Structure 1
């Protein structure tokens, strides 16, 4: 199938990737020439620039790509946060121009579940009345009707989130969140992960499923239910209750959106709920934490844990065990978490999945510790090599870097067969020297405390870690 996708943003780009990977020919259309050039440089599918609000531009595009060869058109362009005027130009006029320029193509318009204005908390499905009260909502419905009138389909997407984009979590961490109305429970949150939204669009267009489909996950929660869980996970206070904002662009609504029709067609979400995505998406939580930490607008609380970093053999587990006994904390070794979850030893994981597979499991083990308190966390030496781990490490607690010279580390690890990175022909000391050069800047950027352990016993090192962490957390409480 030859598919034209108008709008290659957060969802459209993912949709193009999915369709191309499935063997379809994809032409991705963006508003700007710069964006088209960027995509063309990194994507295996074709990218073109076109202002779909211009009828002439769309017909010129049709002549360029071949009118009769396009079998499906997906409209998922954005209004750029504009108001009614932009909605008219991009959504209504854009959809009309695409249908007119490609009359033989199956048309799919990506709309929003905001067209359901219901406020009673009941369940809505595709047969429920959708009569928005605001001009923006009415314009979405007008664009929907153009696609339906062309015997195509409408995908009503819930609130979209994914790596780098999660208003629920970002607003909470930045202190901007609130529980809106509904007797202190807040409105029902209907959300969808960007990957699941893109998979739904690909599913609808390749099967030519006509009509309206709600694209939402299985895990709707009230704001209070969701925020209470997030507050526990990220050690922040529950936001206040306030009256709904009357100036919301698409209005305030409170309803549970059903995805039963889409499920019945054979689609199922990879991330059934937002909480599942936080646990399973390798980059969701870390990307939002990274945005907030780098923004510098707020100071996030550290979780009350002690995190030990450093090269293999630096004594993280040994020192961690002593520190845990001193302060009454639980010792958590990320390597042990990985092994328990995988049901395989670390050498077996490396043998079957390679270092890349191990690093994914390591990141998952780290994410599983969000919300933990009262732990001494001994990490693997290479955990700092994955950028996605850095924001989570910073958030998890007080970080102590245990440093030792490579010669000493080589003696400690030389007889240990559980170190896949030291296997092979390269001399262990030389490899540890190389790893230290590579990782030293990363350890340094994270560490609240740096301890050179060469002249210290494990007990002395543990005492230094414990006292430094005690002072750090005491200052945080002031």
Structure 2
């Protein structure tokens, strides 16, 4: 199948990846030549620049591609947060131009569940009233009708989130969240992970499923229900209430959107709920924490835990147990969490899944600690090598780097057979020297405290960690 995807943004790019991986020929359209050139350097599918709001540009593209050879066209271009004028040119005019230029193609238009104006918590399906009272909503419906009149499909997407994009969590961490109306419960949140949205678009196109389909996950919840779960998970206070914003571009609505029709075709979301995605998507939570930590007006609060980082053999578990006993914290070892979840030893994980599989499990173990407080957390030596882990490590608490020279570490680990990275032809001391060279900048950048443990007993090291952490958290409370 030969498919044009007009708009290779947050969802379009993912859809192109899925269709190409399934063996289809994909032509991804972007508004600017610069975007097309950027994608061409990193994607295996074809890219082209085309302003779909211009009839001449789309007609020229159709001549270049041989319009009759195109099996399907997906419109998922963005209005770039514009108003009614942009909706008209990108959505309505763009959809019309594509339909005229590729008359034999199956058309799929990506719309929004915002076309449903219901505000009383109603259960909504594809037969429900969808006649929005705002110009932007009416223009969405006009673009939908172009696809439907050509016996194509409309995918009404709920609120899209994914790595780097989650307005609910980002607003909460930045102190901008609130429960809006509905007697203190807030509106019902209908959401969909970007990967699941892309999967739905690919599913509809490859099966040529005509008609309207709601693309939403299985777990709609009110703002209050969502925030009451998020707040303890990220250690922030429950936000207050406010009246709905009457100037919202797509209006304020409150409805529970059903995905039953789409599910009946064989589609199912990988992430059944937003909280499943926070748990299982390796990048979601860390990417939003990173956004707020690096670009937010104020960093999110650090949690009252103590984390120990450093190379294998540096004494993290030993020192961690002593610190935990001193201050009455719970001791947690991420390696132990990995082994418990996998039901097999670390060498067995490496043998079956390689280091890449182990690192995924390590990141999952780290995410499972979100919401923990009053813990000393001993981490694996390589946990800092995965960029996704760093924002979560920063968020989880006060970090101490236990540093020791490679010769000392080699002696400590010589009799331990649970260190797969030290297996192989390379001498353990040489390997540890190389690992230290690679990881030292990462440890240094992350650590609140750096302790050279040479000449110190574990008890002395533990005392230094405990006292430094106590001072750090005392300053935070002021």
Q: For residue 236 of structure 2, give the secondary structure of its aligned residue in structure 1.
A: coil
- The answer to whether 1:145 aligns with 2:145 is yes
Give the CA deviation at 1:187.
Answer: 0.3
Quote the residue 2:401 is aligned against.
401
Q: For residue 183 of structure 2, give the secondary structure of its aligned residue in structure 1.
A: helix
Quote the residue 1:288 is aligned against.
288
Q: For residue 27 of structure 2, give the secondary structure of its aligned residue in structure 1.
A: strand
- The answer to whether 1:473 aligns with 2:473 is yes
Quote the residue 2:336 is aligned against.
336
Conserved 8 A contact 2:174-2:296: no
Quote the residue 2:297 is aligned against.
297
Q: Structure 2 matches for 1:122-141, cutoff 5 A?
A: 122-141=122-141
Quote the residue 1:253 is aligned against.
253
Q: For residue 126 of structure 1, give the secondary structure of its aligned residue in structure 2.
A: coil
Q: Structure 2 matches for 1:164-175, cutoff 5 A?
A: 164-175=164-175
- The answer to whether 1:160 aligns with 2:160 is yes
- Separation in structure 2 between the aligned mates of residue 448 and residue 296 of structure 1, nearest angstrom: 20
- Separation in structure 2 between the aligned mates of residue 348 and residue 57 of structure 1, nearest angstrom: 57
Q: How many equivalent residue pairs?
A: 478
Quote the residue 1:33 is aligned against.
33
The alignment's TM-score, normalised by the length of structure 2, stands at 0.99
- The answer to whether 1:22 aligns with 2:39 is no
Q: Structure 2 matches for 1:259-274, cutoff 5 A?
A: 259-274=259-274
- Separation in structure 2 between the aligned mates of residue 42 and residue 294 of structure 1, nearest angstrom: 26
* Residue segments in structure 2 that go unaligned for 5+ positions in a row: none
- Separation in structure 1 between the aligned mates of residue 70 and residue 249 of structure 2, nearest angstrom: 35
Conserved 8 A contact 2:184-2:241: yes
Q: Structure 2 matches for 1:283-362, cutoff 5 A?
A: 283-362=283-362
Quote the residue 1:86 is aligned against.
86
Give the CA deviation at 1:471.
Answer: 1.1
Quote the residue 2:428 is aligned against.
428
Structure 1 runs (4+) greater than 6 angstroms displaced = none
- Separation in structure 2 between the aligned mates of residue 399 and residue 279 of structure 1, nearest angstrom: 23
- Separation in structure 1 between the aligned mates of residue 299 and residue 367 of structure 2, nearest angstrom: 20
- Separation in structure 2 between the aligned mates of residue 133 and residue 242 of structure 1, nearest angstrom: 23
- Separation in structure 1 between the aligned mates of residue 429 and residue 198 of structure 2, nearest angstrom: 48
Give the CA deviation at 1:299.
Answer: 2.8
- Separation in structure 2 between the aligned mates of residue 408 and residue 378 of structure 1, nearest angstrom: 19
State the Cα deviation string for residues 166-193 of structure 1 (Å, max 9, x = none): 1111111111111100111100000000
Q: For residue 182 of structure 1, give the secondary structure of its aligned residue in structure 2.
A: coil
- The answer to whether 1:67 aligns with 2:72 is no
Quote the residue 1:184 is aligned against.
184
What is the CA RMSD across the aligned residues, in angstroms? Answer: 0.6
Give the CA deviation at 1:238.
Answer: 1.1
Q: For residue 29 of structure 1, give the secondary structure of its aligned residue in structure 2.
A: strand
State the Cα deviation string for residues 257-280 of structure 1 (Å, max 9, x = none): 000000000000000000000000
The 1:296–1:123 alpha-carbon spacing in structure 2 relative to 1, beyond 3 Å, is: closer
- Separation in structure 2 between the aligned mates of residue 80 and residue 301 of structure 1, nearest angstrom: 32
The 1:296–1:139 alpha-carbon spacing in structure 2 relative to 1, beyond 3 Å, is: closer
